[in-house]
Amino acid sequence: MTAKLNKSITQVHWQPLTKLLEPEGDKQQVLKGFDEEFVDIVDYIIRITHRIWEQKNVGLCYRYYGDICPVFMLGGYSECVEQVVQNTLKTIAAFPDRSLIGENVIWKEETDGTYYSSHLITSIMTNTGNSDFGLATNKTGRVTTIADCVCFENKIIKEWLVRDNSFLISQLGIDLIDAAIHFSASIPNETFHNWYNSEYDRVINAKHRAEIPFSESNWTTNNFVNAWAQALFNQKQFSTLTQFYHVAAAHQWPGGRQSTGLAQISGTLIQWLAQCPDAKMTIDHIGVTSFDEDTIDIAIRWSVAGRFNPHIDRLTALKGSRFFVLGCTHMRVKNQKIIKEITVFDEISLYANMIRESGQSLPLLAKGS
């Protein structure tokens, strides 16, 4: 099915939290330069996340993040551990009871000695403080996050962070476009602009017409993922869904898009891509781990770029704006077909970036538009 996978590494799915926090057994990976207590890279990610976020030891960021640690988000960029500490503290203040429930960690040992981890997290949190989305609502919401991290010698040295903020705010009773307008008022730093511009230019020039053939006999994870992106997102060939998804696959996309089966998944992708009909997708990183005997988990970091074709009347003024998404997807694949997919990106930042770049002043729904 794919390259031989290491099945001795911690798997989160069925583990009680107590066992995750006090792992038993021998060290399974060398983890050069990491604290001796960590048995493998999954253990490292799970325990440091718990310590920093759930135990609220924000200062541990100094121990587990590099002094220089670029963190890429669609809503902004931070460069050093000081900003990580400050952002963590601000989020905990706005959502003081935030839990971070580790759902999965898909990892890869890179050739340069670093470890790449993709951490799927569910958070429950109550919005008791003012946040980037507006005033405190005092409502509790759930949100899915994927944090992709490059880890080296006990520290995270680079991170891509995506959060399903549109799903969160719909539980808080905040309108999506209002949140985007609110968020567009914050001005990202120059590094963000440079990254955003260069990424847009890179992705929009993706070679989208080349065929990426793949078959059952020469199936590899990389080939499968690249063909998935090319056939569905770049070439919009939705009848090829049968090559990628099981007929009863479960599909979760941002904002509460829940689909089961090919017809609904096709509808979700068509409706979403119609916002950006010339969308180009690049696959920026792939990781794969074993789940069970005949099932693997794949983590994908990807980007989409194109021009915006508004589907919401209030956004008509943004027609033709640069549409850019940083996204992450976790897939569970059985017998070469996706049986479960969770895709995460930040729709609020997507719209906020276009609003800010347009220079338009859009009216808030909350004030009556």
Partner 1 sequence: MMFNELTALYTEGDLAQLSSRILHSTAWKQHDFTAYGDMQINKLWLKSLEQFGFLQVTQQQEIQGENFSALHLTLSTALSGKKDKAKHVSVTFFFEHNNKHIKRLHCVVDTLALAKLLKQEPRVLLKALPTPDPLLLSQFDHQLHPKSFHATPNDVCELPHTISDTVNQWWNIWQEKQLASFKNIYSDNAIVQIAGFGSQQGFIQLRDFHLKIHNRMNRSYCQLENICIDKAGNSLAIKWHLDGDYISKGAIKRIRIPVISVLTLENKLIIEEQLQIDWLALYKQYELSYPFV
Write out the residues near partner 1 by the rule CB under 8 A: 12-17, 20, 99, 101-103, 122, 124, 140, 142, 167, 170-171, 239, 242, 246-248, 250, 255-264, 266-268, 270-272
- Contact residues for 356 (Cβ-Cβ < 8 A; gap 6+): 184, 187
Both tokens of residue 23?
Answer: 């792992």
* Residue 78 vs 329, nearer CB to partner 1: 329
Task: Tell me how far, at minimum, the Cβ of 165 lies from partner 1, in Å.
Answer: 12
Both tokens of residue 89?
Answer: 């503290």
The answer to whether 251 touches 260, Cβ cutoff 8 Å, is yes
- Contact residues for 343 (Cβ-Cβ < 8 A; gap 6+): 251, 252, 253, 254, 327, 328, 329, 330
* Residue 13 vs 319, nearer CB to partner 1: 13
* Residue 77 vs 133, nearer CB to partner 1: 133
* Residue 36 vs 313, nearer CB to partner 1: 313
Task: Tell me how far, at minimum, the Cβ of 16 lies from partner 1, in Å.
Answer: 6
Both tokens of residue 333?
Answer: 């694949």
Task: Tell me how far, at minimum, the Cβ of 190 lies from partner 1, in Å.
Answer: 35
Task: Tell me how far, at minimum, the Cβ of 305 lies from partner 1, in Å.
Answer: 22
Strand-pairing partners, residue 143, are 123
- Contact residues for 336 (Cβ-Cβ < 8 A; gap 6+): 1, 216, 219, 224
* Residue 153 vs 292, nearer CB to partner 1: 292
* Residue 206 vs 331, nearer CB to partner 1: 331
Grouping H, G, I as helix, E, B as strand and the rest as coil, residue 346 is coil
Grouping H, G, I as helix, E, B as strand and the rest as coil, residue 331 is strand
Strand-pairing partners, residue 327, are 302
CA atoms lying within 13 Å on the CB side of residue 299: 23
Strand-pairing partners, residue 340, are 250, 332
- Nearest CA among 148, 151, 150, 144 for reference residue 160: 148
- Contact residues for 20 (Cβ-Cβ < 8 A; gap 6+): 10, 12, 43, 46, 47, 50, 102
The answer to whether 117 touches 158, Cβ cutoff 8 Å, is no
Task: Tell me how far, at minimum, the Cβ of 149 lies from partner 1, in Å.
Answer: 19
Task: Tell me how far, at minimum, the Cβ of 101 lies from partner 1, in Å.
Answer: 5
Q: What single-letter amino acid sits at 251?
A: H
* Residue 68 vs 274, nearer CB to partner 1: 274
Task: Tell me how far, at minimum, the Cβ of 366 lies from partner 1, in Å.
Answer: 18
Residue 55 exposed, middle or buried by CB count within 10 Å (0-12, 13-18, 19+): exposed
Task: Tell me how far, at minimum, the Cβ of 256 lies from partner 1, in Å.
Answer: 4
Task: Tell me how far, at minimum, the Cβ of 227 lies from partner 1, in Å.
Answer: 18
- Residue indicated by tokens 């690249």: 226
* Residue 13 vs 193, nearer CB to partner 1: 13
* Residue 166 vs 358, nearer CB to partner 1: 166
* Residue 154 vs 170, nearer CB to partner 1: 170
Strand order in the sheet with 257-260: 257-260, 245-253, 337-344, 322-334, 295-307, 280-292
Task: Tell me how far, at minimum, the Cβ of 178 lies from partner 1, in Å.
Answer: 15
